[in-house]
Amino acid sequence: MKKSLCMILAIFLVLAPLGGCGDSGTTQGSAGTPAAGGMSGEGERVPITMWFWAAAPFQRDAFQAHLVDAFNNSQDEYELILEFQEGVDDNISVALSADQGPDIVYGSGPAFVGGFAGGGKLANLDKYAEKYGWADRLLSPFYDACTVDGSLYSIPGGLTSTGYCFNQKVLDDNGWTLPTTEAELVSILDQAQELGMYSALTGGKDWRPTNELFVNIFLAHYAGPEVVYQCLTGERPWNNEYVIEALKMCDDWYQKGYFAGDDYWNLDYSEAAQLFVNERSPFWFGPTLLFQFIQREADPSQTGGIKFANFPNFREGLPDPVYDIGAVCSYSINAASKNPDGAAMVLDMMLTPEFAGNMSKAWAGYWGIPIRDLSNIDMSGAGALNLNYLEACFEIVETVDNGNFSYNAATFFPASTFQRVIDIDTVWEGVATVEELVVEIDAAYKDDVDAKLVPSIPRTGR
């Protein structure tokens, strides 16, 4: 009996690890899913896998209803399987490096895509772009940004632009009007501080790359889009007077406490949202993405007067208005996917006004997909906050369509350049000077050029 038990255990121990050696097959989250018409049995749907960040429950519900269920009900060949993951950015990078990962690749934007596309980890989407007419549907700067060497490798997620949310009630209570010049804005920031409020809320507690937002603001509204374009295309070194002055101005604002004062590193976006809706500041500096945190943290009765505004220019001679633009994320198809056609069908669904509208009604701040007919979506029944978010998106889309845009660092700056940009905190903390930092940014950019990591940069002002 004892001997038999030992034999069974021994066989089990030998076979158990072998079981893990096979193809991961239909398990969630693997690109090694059965090929369409191949391994899947008759009547079985072929799984299409996708990873996404660990969204809040109401956001997951919206995603499930308007993407997963909508896609799965629209056809009977594929089944979209969505997995929410903590640290999805890192997980995707590691998985792709090992030729693994889901069929649909969530990425942080074109800069991320450039590296992996160059490495053959992402599928070329040109044939799908032609089949579905994506070039006509997307705003051209976003389409161009998603190309690598002229070929499409991703589609953009919701558009984002750095500006600020303002609380109309706080402005009204204090007799302030929405600022249209730097002087008016700074005046309110100073007055708010004197009243014991935060000049503006923000926070980098859980996400050091938050630093890039403040570089975005001053590059767009002081250095200007043309200078940033020239830097990103190598026509002008980063170590130039406009970038230096822009970063000095950024440092000056930090030192004056305009970025949540002493609490910049002590606040995350959830905490900042709660302080903002509780009228602890007239402004919250950040991207259009802020709406999603406000929606998540606040009661709808507190959010009706919250809207988004763009910064005024801080220097003469710049196009006005100018928005820095980026995408909250990108979606690609894994080169290792055995079902790229099904994955492309999912991407196509995400580029429709119906999807953008349905998602934005349920989930403000994230799903303003940069398509030309975004303003045609039906928003009847949407809450005030969701409407205010989409109004901001419509204005950004119109401005970008006219060619006035600058470049969001997270979307357009190549990997090492981006890391040096978020090192702006070394200037804030007195570890480095602006002059030293721009030299490092310049060196990092050259490294990125050598490593072929610079994404396509759409021409501003065209």
Partner 1 sequence: MVLSLKRNKNAIFLVLPAVLVSMSVVLVPAIMTFYTSLTNWNGFTADMEFIGLENFRYLFNNKYFWTALTNNIIWTFLFLTIPVVIGMGAALLILNRKRGRDALQVVFLLPYVLSSIVNALIWKNVIYAPLSGVVAWLNNTFGLGIPALLTTRGTALFAVAGVDIWHYWGFLCIVYFAALRQVPTDQVEAAKLDGANFFQQFRYVYYPHIRPTFLLLSIMIIIFSFLAFDYVKLLTEGGPAHATEMLGTLAYTLAFKEFKLGRASAAALFMSLFGLIASGIYIKINQSEERY
Q: List residues near partner 1 by CB under 8 A.
A: 90, 93-94, 96-97, 115-116, 118-121, 205, 208, 262-263, 265-267, 271, 415-416, 418-419, 423, 425-426, 428-429, 431, 447, 450-451, 453
Grouping H, G, I as helix, E, B as strand and the rest as coil, residue 325 is: strand
Q: Which is nearer to partner 1, 47 or 204 (CB)?
A: 204
Give 124 or 416: the residue with its C-beta nearer to partner 1: 416
Which residue number, 113 or 364, has a Cβ lying nearer to partner 1? 113
195 secondary structure, DSSP code: T
Per-position DSSP letters for 276-291, written without gaps between them: HHTTS-SEEEEETTHH
**The tokens 């919701």 sit on which residue?**
158
Among residues 257, 208, 244, 267, which one has the least CA distance to residue 418? 208
- Output the smallest distance, CB 117 to partner 1, in A: 10
- Least spacing, CB of residue 76 vs partner 1, in Å: 35
Q: How far apart are CA 302 and CA 408, in angstroms?
A: 30
What is the nearest approach in angstroms of partner 1 to the Cβ of residue 266? Answer: 5
- In the complex with partner 1, which residue's Cβ is closer, 144 or 448? 448
Measured from the CB atom, the residue of 130 and 149 that comes closer to partner 1 is 149
Cβ burial, residue 371 (10 Å; 0-12/13-18/19+): buried
In whole angstroms, give the CA distance from residue 37 to residue 46.
8
For the CB of residue 128, give the shortest distance to partner 1 in the complex, in Å.
22
Shortest distance, position 453 Cβ to partner 1, whole Å: 6
Q: How far is the CB of 93 from partner 1 (least distance, A)?
A: 5
Closest separation in Å from C-beta 178 to partner 1: 29
Upper half-sphere CA count for residue 310 (Cβ side, 13 Å): 23
Residue closer to partner 1 (CB basis): 112 or 389: 112
Shortest Å distance, C-beta 121 to partner 1: 5
Q: Give which of 145, 159, 179 is closest to 329, Cα–Cα.
A: 159
φ, ψ for residue 434, nearest 5 deg:
-60, -40
Amino acid identity, position 214 = F
Contact 47, 39 (CB under 8 A): no
Please say whether the beta carbons of 138 and 156 come within 8 A: yes
Q: Which is nearer to partner 1, 371 or 421 (CB)?
A: 421
In the complex, what is the shortest distance from the CB of residue 97 to partner 1, in angstroms, rounded to a whole number?
5
Name the 3-class secondary structure at 108.
coil
Kindly give, in sequence order, each residue whose CB lies less than 8 Å from that of residue 268, ignoring residues fewer than 6 positions away. Answer: 203, 205, 206, 207
The residue (of 90 and 136) whose beta carbon lies closer to partner 1 is 90
Q: Shortest Cβ distance from residue 115 to partner 1 (Å)?
A: 5
Taking the least distance from each CB to partner 1, the nearer of 53 and 265 is 265
Report the nearest approach of partner 1 to the CB of residue 62 (Å). Answer: 26
Q: Which is nearer to partner 1, 375 or 426 (CB)?
A: 426
Helix, coil or strand: residue 1 = coil
**DSSP secondary structure letters along 329-383:** -EEEEBTT-S-HHHHHHHHHHHTSHHHHHHHHHHSTTT----BGGGGGS--TT--
Nearer to partner 1, 288 or 416 (CB): 416
Two tokens, residue 134: 């994506």
Torsion from C-alpha of 168, 171, 175, 178, nearest 10 degrees: -90
